[in-house]
Amino acid sequence: MSDVLDRLRALQEGDLPTHGGSTLAYVYDSGLAEADEVGRQALALYGSANGLDPTVFPSLRTLENEVVGWAARLMQGPDAVGTVTSGGTESILLAVQTARDASPGVASPSMVLPSTAHAAFHKAAHYLGVRAVVVDVEPGSYRARPDAMAAACDDTTVLVVASAPSYAHGVVDPVPEIAEAASARGIRFHVDACIGGWVLPYLRADGVDVPDYDFAVPGVTSVSVDLHKYAYTPKGASILLHRTAGLRRPQYFAHADWPGYTMLNSTMQSTKSGAPLAAAWAVLQHIGDDGYQRLARTSYDATLRLAAAAGAIDGLTVLAPPETTLVALRSDERADVFTIADEMAAQGWFVQPQLSFRDQAPSLHLSMSAATAPRLDELIEALTASVRTAQAAGPVQVPKSWRRRPRHSIRPLWTTPPSTVCWSSPVSGRVRRCRSEWRR
Ligand SMILES: Cc1ncc(COP(=O)(O)O)c(C=O)c1O
């Protein structure tokens, strides 16, 4: 047995570290070893339990009700009901599916999104046949424009979307204004609080001036909140909340017209492990409201300090003042953010490059976990040094024959239909940039 586990550990050595605070995207680390251990033990206890049928695993129903109740309280929805899903993308897929199926009379349904909405909405559009009507955000603030979103709504609109906050820039969209426009037209309005939902309420409780974004705003009909991000629970847990049980009804899928058991599902999955739910429940109980308030404050303060320090580095700009625990940075023309990210990686820090989008230059994304806060000075030092080194190297020079290709690209690596073309660095071989291309 130990051989098998040794092999797993050896394989994991090639992965990004999930703990220790040096990974600033993909994973979230509370720094609380006991909370991690509670989560691990709950995962092991529930690995074989099946969330397919809560009548035979009633403990899972109890756990789900308690976790959803916690989230409904945080999102200020006294009548809100919800479902635990496998992640933010599944919560979003279900929100879109529910809105679509609530309007069966709309032949060609659409949803209105700010251009900063998470890619999961585009996945939902693709899977569910709901057209994404994308509205540019306000230049400079990167916030959704309520007037433009209202103007983009028509008879086919079944859902309007905002983020609290957006992943790429970390800003909260003007939810009350968008809600007003949506409810005046009788359209459902989803707030994607996948990344901010377990931070914003605790920051508010701690005295931070947090914009309105949840069910306290009339017109918000559903909210997604991930547990496997800032609730610091093991991967595989998010929540989709609806303001009322009636609004949730179209989310259910039921089928009895076959010779087997009646299938009645509230999620995309049917058989599903009870482990992520049990682990989420256990970690929530262990950390508690006071613990989350402390964790939110710790990572928020660290984010503000990081933004101030990064903004003072010659050549770096903070794209938007942080409102939660996310920060996005841009480099001036003297350096490539991709080179800065590589330099950071060489020093043991993972920061996430974000590709250029429309008229926006590439940037670096950093999600601040509580576990990074004690290492903030080290992080700032590494960032400062990485920017210097990247500036000394200069931006990647592209041969003339490649001019029409993206600036950092050198060598085509692969093409996948319907054509995302990616290029790799000639030095490291790492993928540098991808571009969607529609080819015959
Ligand atoms: C705002 C937002 N929405 C949705 C998602 C998708 O969540 P997941 O990766 O859990 O599917 C993310 C992930 O970072 C996010 O930040």
- Beta carbons of 254 and 264 less than 8 angstroms apart: yes
Is residue 188 in some structural domain?
Answer: yes
- Nearest CA among 225, 4, 250 for reference residue 105: 250
Predicted confidence band at 410 (pLDDT cuts at 50, 70, 90)? very low
* Arithmetic mean of pLDDT, 205-219: 98
Q: What is the pLDDT of residue 398?
A: 76
Tell how far the Cα of 192 is from the centroid of ligand 1, in angstroms.
Answer: 8
**Count of structural domains within the chain:** 2
Whether residues 265 and 123 fall in one domain: yes
Inter-CA distances, 56 with 71, 119, 270, 277, 418, Å: 25, 36, 14, 16, 44
Q: What is the pLDDT of residue 432?
A: 55
Element (H or E) spanning 4, and its range? helix 2-12
Q: What is the pLDDT of residue 408?
A: 52
- Res. 370: pLDDT tops 80: yes
Residues 116-146: pLDDT tens digits? 999 999 999 999 999 999 999 999 999 999 9
- Beta carbons of 189 and 176 less than 8 angstroms apart: no
- Res. 397: pLDDT tops 90: no
Q: 73: domain CATH number?
A: 3.40.640.10
Ligand 1 touching residue 226 (CB < 6 A): yes
* Arithmetic mean of pLDDT, 107-120: 98
Cα separation, 370 vs 29, whole angstroms: 6
Return all residues near 422 (Cβ < 8 A) that are at least 6 apart.
412, 413, 414, 431, 432, 433, 434, 435
| Domain boundary pick from 269, 284, 299 | 284
Predicted confidence band at 414 (pLDDT cuts at 50, 70, 90)? very low
Is residue 138 in some structural domain?
Answer: yes
Task: Give me the percent of the chain exceeding a pLDDT of 90.
Answer: 89
| Domain boundary pick from 284, 318, 345 | 284
Residues 165-211: pLDDT tens digits? 999 999 999 999 999 999 999 999 999 999 999 999 999 999 999 99
* Arithmetic mean of pLDDT, 389-393: 97
Tell how far the Cα of 89 is from the centroid of ligand 1, in angstroms.
Answer: 6
* Arithmetic mean of pLDDT, 25-49: 98
Ligand 1 touching residue 323 (CB < 6 A): no
- Res. 406: pLDDT tops 80: no
- Res. 409: pLDDT tops 60: no
- Beta carbons of 203 and 300 less than 8 angstroms apart: yes
Whether residues 268 and 414 fall in one domain: no
Residues 293-349: pLDDT tens digits? 999 999 999 999 999 999 999 999 999 999 999 999 999 999 999 999 999 999 999
Is residue 123 in some structural domain?
Answer: yes
| Domain boundary pick from 284, 318, 334 | 284
Cα separation, 71 vs 75, whole angstroms: 6
Lowest mean pLDDT among 15-29, 59-73, 419-433: 419-433
Mean of the per-residue pLDDT values for the chain? Answer: 93
- Beta carbons of 303 and 324 less than 8 angstroms apart: yes
Tell how far the Cα of 196 is from the centroid of ligand 1, in angstroms.
Answer: 10
Predicted confidence band at 418 (pLDDT cuts at 50, 70, 90)? very low
* Arithmetic mean of pLDDT, 345-363: 95
Residues 228-255: pLDDT tens digits? 999 999 999 999 999 999 999 999 999 9
Neighbours of 439 (CB within 10 A): 8
Phi-psi category of 219—alpha, beta or left, where left has phi over 0 and alpha has psi -120 to 50? left
Task: Give me the percent of the chain exceeding a pLDDT of 70.
Answer: 91
Q: What is the pLDDT of residue 396?
A: 83
Can you list the alpha helix ranges (DSSP code H) found in 209-336? Answer: 245-248, 275-311
Cα separation, 174 vs 162, whole angstroms: 8
Rounded to 10 deg, the angle between the 275-311 and 33-46 helix axes is 150
Task: Select the more confidently predicted residue: 326 or 426.
Answer: 326
Predicted confidence band at 428 (pLDDT cuts at 50, 70, 90)? low
Q: 316-318 and 263-265: which strand pairing?
A: unpaired
Is residue 25 in some structural domain?
Answer: no
Best residue for ligand 1 mutational test, from 27, 86, 89 (most atoms within 8 Å of Cβ): 89
- Res. 431: pLDDT tops 60: no
Q: What is the pLDDT of residue 440?
A: 30
Please give the structure tokens belonging to residue 438. Answer: 């529609």
Sign of CA dihedral 196, 199, 202, 208: negative
Residue numbers of the domain that contains 49: 33-284
Predicted confidence band at 419 (pLDDT cuts at 50, 70, 90)? very low
Ligand 1 touching residue 195 (CB < 6 A): yes
* Arithmetic mean of pLDDT, 359-379: 97
Task: Select the more confidently predicted residue: 411 or 121.
Answer: 121
Side-chain-facing half-sphere of 142: CA atoms under 13 Å? 24
Ligand 1 touching residue 93 (CB < 6 A): no
Q: Please tell me whether the peptide bond between 418 and the residue prior to it is cis, using omega within 30 degrees of 0.
A: yes
Is residue 380 in some structural domain?
Answer: no
Is residue 331 in some structural domain?
Answer: no
Is residue 392 in some structural domain?
Answer: no
Q: What is the pLDDT of residue 403?
A: 67
CB burial readout 333-372, b (16+ within 10 A) else e: eebbbbbbbbbbbeeebbbbbbbeeeebbbbbbbbbbbbb
Tell how far the Cα of 401 is from the centroid of ligand 1, in angstroms.
Answer: 38
Tell how far the Cα of 93 is from the centroid of ligand 1, in angstroms.
Answer: 11
Q: What is the pLDDT of residue 405?
A: 56
Return all residues near 100 (Cβ < 8 A) that are at least 6 apart.
106, 109, 128, 129, 130, 158, 159
Instruction: Give the residue whose CA is nearest to atom 6 of ligand 1.
Output: 88
Task: Select the more confidently predicted residue: 63 or 396.
Answer: 63
Number of H helices, E strands in the chain: 12, 16
Whether residues 280 and 413 fall in one domain: no
- Res. 422: pLDDT tops 70: no
Is residue 301 in some structural domain?
Answer: no
